[in-house]
Structure 1
Amino acid sequence: MRKDFAVRAHDIPGRDDLEELTRNIKMRGIHTLAFSPAASIAAATHGGDDVSIGMANYVRRLFAANDIEIGTLSCYVNLIDPDLNARNRVIARFQRYLQLAPGFGTRIVATETGSVDPTFGFTKANFEQVPFETLLKTIAQLLPVAHEFGTFIALEPGVNHPLYSLARTGQLLAHFDNDPALKLIIDPVNLILSEKDDVEVVLHEAFERFSAQIVAVHLKDYVWTPDAPRLLKTVVPGTGRVNFRRLLEMAEQAQPFGIKCLDELPNGQLDETLKLPLLAPYRG
């Protein structure tokens, strides 16, 4: 029985050409995607803003004919944008994605939670109460749409955002009484705040606390770059600080056949990663 993993569709050649993209996915033995219309079909969707049910159905049928599915529909937007007009626009966009997700063949719409800094550089200003309260207000506007269409809002915590820790994540879920439409994508590397932090400890704690809410895990390797805007830099697995095999095993053990996405591998890095022997059981 084949195990599985996911990749970001926009890490594969074929942007704005769905047929070419599909061929390139299939030839790499990939079956599950994190799919962002804004990244993979930007021209046809005007940067992800204009997505129709016809487009969703077409993408689903094309992929399904090649044994490919969309695991998560990516709608990465700034949910706490300080510009209220801009925030209202992204709320409307996310609501639209929640409606259309089943057309794409998934019920999961994924996003990080935004930033007070439009460049998304690391700032502890995101850790303050006001950005968190803004996030709560935004989520409250999204949940009724998720309930109506039977879809999930999947939030990805990270230190560059108001949902910056597992503790803060717990506060958000408690605020909404663990609403069944509110889910999580856990990237343990994105929760590293100190050079001493351990990604295995972070992932273990996430599953201990939120196993029922986790719908996907993002896996990557990194090097510590404290002077950079994100504190760290993603690298090809095996070339950084992470025991990538162990993370993969932990995710598989916690959620057999769960969505495990190889994250942030642009510019040919994905193809390097796909050559790793540890991924052989997950391909075919």
Structure 2
Amino acid sequence: MEGIFYMELNLAVRGHDFYREDTAERLAEKIAETGLKNIQFALPFSFPSVPSQFENMNPGMGNYYQRIFSKQDIQITVLSCYINMIHPDLNEREKLIDKFCSYLRVAKAFGASMVATETGCVDEEIHYTEENFTEEAFEKVVESVKKMVTYAEKLGMTVAIEGGLNHPIYSPKKMRELLDRIQSPNMQVILDVTNFLRPDTVQNQKEVIDEAFNLFGSEIAAIHLKDFVVENNLVKPVAIGTGEMDFEYLLKKVSQEKPYLHLIMEETKEPDIPNAIAYLEKINK
């Protein structure tokens, strides 16, 4: 009889969930102090004074940050380039897609295998609007993702797409539809279960987890771990272990279907990270 498989958690943290530091060396040291080995790195959020637009990205920059983090045995798991890929201004939309492609071009120098983004909003600012749920908005997403994935295919890189209620990819079913339209192994998914929950559906989170794994489990490249509470009829992020997210069920699902998947803690800020790690490790036993 086979033994029960125990999965050691492959946890990661977003760099900008730490207090902002002046140097990458100090940020790397602080992450290392937590015992974590992986980072989702959003350059403009962690180091806003460093130019990080299309024309600024270069292999030397990637080598610089990879070298600093690797000294602390930390890998840049995901390079973030969150853009509004369906920006209503077509010229601005093309500039943002070009920016994303510039991140794809240098991601290997950072040591990352994927570049992540959400799917934007029909308005300039990202927010909840049912205008995002139209077929017109979805077709704009398909058009933009095709451009990005076509470029990623030339580079052997992965475009990691994150869905959520503030975007045209507002449900697991819509994510499956996007995957079917793109039809490329160079598009993968970052699953954030909380992003798909409304105040009236939080009790159905197990069903949402099962649906996501059933529809696109093989294409999940990473998971965002984000806890929440319902407050003033809103799903509000809180530190991991202090809310209503069923992490025990989610971690069991990962251990069964995606062992050692990158699990990226989100919206858990620096003072709460040690407690969050301890909580996740405890329920993973």
Give the TM-score normalised by structure 2. Answer: 0.90
- Matched with 1:215 is 221
Q: CA deviation at 1:257?
A: 0.7
* Structure 2: distance between partners of 1:121 and 1:62: 35
- Matched with 1:19 is 25
- Matched with 1:180 is 185
Q: Which amino acid aligns with 1:19?
A: E
* Structure 2: distance between partners of 1:59 and 1:48: 18
Q: CA deviation at 1:258?
A: 0.7
Alignment of 1:82 with 2:88, yes or no, is: yes
Q: CA deviation at 1:226?
A: 5.8
Alignment of 1:240 with 2:236, yes or no, is: no
Q: Which amino acid aligns with 1:195?
A: D
| Alpha-carbon distance change, 175 to 46 in structure 1, aligned in 2, over 3 angstroms | closer
Give the RMSD, CA atoms, in angstroms: 2.1
- Matched with 2:57 is 51
Query: Quick check: 1:8–1:34 contact (8 Å CA) kept in 2?
Result: yes
Q: CA deviation at 1:130?
A: 1.3
* Structure 2: distance between partners of 1:145 and 1:12: 32
- Matched with 1:136 is 142
- Matched with 2:153 is 147
Q: CA deviation at 1:252?
A: 2.9
- Matched with 1:189 is 194
| Alpha-carbon distance change, 242 to 3 in structure 1, aligned in 2, over 3 angstroms | closer
- Taking the TM superposition and a 5 Å limit, the aligned residue runs for 1:243-258 are 243-258=246-261
- Paired residue total: 277
Render the CA deviation track for 1:99-149: whole Å, top value 9, x for unaligned.
111111111111110112333221111001111111111112112210111
Query: Quick check: 1:186–1:203 contact (8 Å CA) kept in 2?
Result: no
Q: CA deviation at 1:180?
A: 0.8
- Matched with 1:261 is 264
Unaligned runs of 5+ in 1: none
Query: Quick check: 1:220–1:262 contact (8 Å CA) kept in 2?
Result: yes
Render the CA deviation track for 1:187-223: whole Å, top value 9, x for unaligned.
1110113523422221222111212211001111111
- Matched with 1:36 is 42
| Alpha-carbon distance change, 254 to 28 in structure 1, aligned in 2, over 3 angstroms | same
- Matched with 2:4 is none
* Structure 1: distance between partners of 2:80 and 2:180: 24
Alignment of 1:101 with 2:97, yes or no, is: no
| Alpha-carbon distance change, 277 to 173 in structure 1, aligned in 2, over 3 angstroms | closer
Q: For 1:211, what is the secondary structure of its paired residue?
A: helix
Query: Quick check: 1:14–1:24 contact (8 Å CA) kept in 2?
Result: no
Unaligned runs of 5+ in 2: 1-6
Render the CA deviation track for 1:168-194: whole Å, top value 9, x for unaligned.
112111112x31111100011101135
Percent of aligned pairs with the same residue?
Answer: 34
* Structure 1: distance between partners of 2:146 and 2:174: 17
Segment of structure 1 superposing worse, 46-55 or 116-125: 46-55
Provide runs of 4+ in structure 1 moved above 4 Å: 46-49
Give the TM-score normalised by structure 1. Answer: 0.90
Q: CA deviation at 1:49?
A: 6.6
